[in-house]
Every structure is written in structure tokens, then in C-alpha cells.
Amino acid sequence: MPYRTYVTDLFYEELGGGKFRPTEATTSPWDQRMQHGGPPTALLATEICRQAGGPPLRLARITVDFLAPIPRSDAEVAVHIVRPGRRTQLTEATMVVDGKAAVVARAWQIAVGAAIEPTPSDSPPALPDPQPQSYFPGIGRWGYGEATEWRFVSGGWDVPGPSQVWAHVRLPLLADSDPELVGLQRLLLLADSANGLSAQMFLGDWLFIPPTLTVTVFRYPQSDWIYLDCRTHLSADGGGMSEARLYDEHGYLGSATQPLYVGPRG
């Protein structure tokens, strides 16, 4: 399937004063009026780093709570420091859309700079050759899916169960991003995809609702491609959890986890 040509080459247009306009690239597969969870996650993390970060603080963990479906409308982001500190700091960011809080993120930032011997990392599988781009069965085109190139090592959009996939975000999050944050933005744009990539049952028949996402960031990515080793676990009472180990071409980056509500559609 050929890539769509976008009117814009960004996920968000920055309007000034902490306000942002989501583009078609943020679109959810389930409703063209709503956003996928990845772009808001990356945007809130960026604003936390912009307003309450900088050397030597680095984002080490972010938990993002999706309070409701996120409309593809102009949004305002507010940031405040919950617990300041020289070595560790807790910061919160809220995205308000149509007058209501839609997403809240809390991030721990840690001071870095000490020279220590790094732990050796295992290596991800090699990046596959280019593949035809297809998506969830019956869904067709959707902005976020087409804003990313997907190359599966195992599994697939139409294959229930675990998957291993390399992904490359084709568009910048914002027109003016700090180069130091671009790798983090790529990682967080993709982390919310783990539950869809590893769904145990066809999403056309079943709902998988992730109300929150936690990403622990071991280090920021240093390459354009991100590898997700994804798996979903289902419990007998209708709950579930997805998890992903995250890598770039140089090794381990961190992990993403999400609890899931699982139920039949309709």
C-alpha cells in the first residue's frame, strides 16, 4: 500500500502559548476524529523536558493516563513540577482538549553524568528488507499507521499473538524539536502501539482498551529505527496486559507496559 501524502509533515503544529494542533498523522485507527495514544505521550514528555528538564536531568520513566478518547482538536499543555530535586525530579503534564483534561502524564527525571561501566546489552534481530505496508484487517488507511514504516520480524497486523517489529517514524513530532529529544520522541510515539501489535484476538471483534501506559527509559535512542518485542497476556476474568522490550540498532532501550480491558465489540 503506498504511503499517503500529508498536507503537513508533522504530528503537531505548535500554535504558541502551550497550544498545539494535531494533524492527520495523529489519527486513531478506530475513529478519524480521535488521536492515537502515541503522539500525545510524546508531546507531553517533550513539554516536560522543555519546561522542567535540561542537563543534567533525563527522563527515566513516564506514566501516561488516558482519561477519555482524545479528540483531534486543538490542545493546551500545562506542566508543573510535583517534587523538585537535583538527583531525581517528578514532573506532571496535562493535555486539555475542548475544555477537559484528556491526558495526564507523570515523569521521573534523573540526573546523569557519572562515568560508569555500562551493562552489556543483548542485540535485536537484524532490520528486515522493506515490506508492503498493511494494517489491521478491515481498518484500511489511518493517519498514525501510515506516518510510520513497519517491518515485521515475526507476527503481523493480521496475525494474533506476539510480534517482533522494527518501526521508523516518518514525520517529526514538531517543527522545532531539540535534537537531544528526537530519539525520545520516536520511542514514545511508538510505545503505545505494543498492545495492538501483539493483540491475541482480532481487533475487529474485540476491544482492547489501555487506560494507561508506562515506559521506563534506560537510555534515549541513537538511531532512526526502533525495535519492539511485544506480547499480550490475557486473564480469565477479561483483563489483560501488554508488554514490550524496546531497542534501537545499538541495543536495549527500556520497556513499555499497559493494563488492558478486554471485551467483545458491540
DSSP state of 72: S
Query: How far apart (Å, rounded) are the C-alpha atoms in residues 180 and 160?
Result: 36
Considering the domain boundaries, does residue 7 fall inside one? no
Considering the domain boundaries, does residue 118 fall inside one? no
Range of the domain at 222: 12-112+123-264
- Residue 179's alpha-carbon distances to 141, 182, 200, 252, in angstroms, are 30, 5, 37, 21
Query: How far apart (Å, rounded) are the C-alpha atoms in residues 192 and 217?
Result: 14
Query: How far apart (Å, rounded) are the C-alpha atoms in residues 199 and 206?
Result: 10
Considering the domain boundaries, does residue 141 fall inside one? yes
As for how many domains the chain has, the answer is 1
* Contacting residues for 99 by C-beta, under 8 A, at least 6 apart: none
* Chain center to CA of 253: 14
The CATH code of the domain that includes 209 is: 2.40.160.210
Considering the domain boundaries, does residue 5 fall inside one? no
pTM of the model: 0.95
For β-strands 100-111 and 57-66, DSSP reports them as: antiparallel
Considering the domain boundaries, does residue 90 fall inside one? yes
Q: Are 63 and 24 in contact (CB under 8 A)?
A: no
Considering the domain boundaries, does residue 239 fall inside one? yes
Considering the domain boundaries, does residue 6 fall inside one? no
Q: What pLDDT tens digit does each residue of the chain (266 aa) get? A: 444 544 468 999 999 999 999 999 999 988 889 999 999 999 999 999 999 988 889 999 999 999 999 999 999 999 999 999 999 999 999 999 999 999 999 999 999 988 888 888 899 999 999 999 888 777 777 899 999 999 999 999 889 999 999 999 999 999 998 999 999 999 999 999 999 999 888 777 888 899 999 999 999 999 999 999 999 999 999 899 999 999 999 999 999 999 999 988 87
Considering the domain boundaries, does residue 75 fall inside one? yes
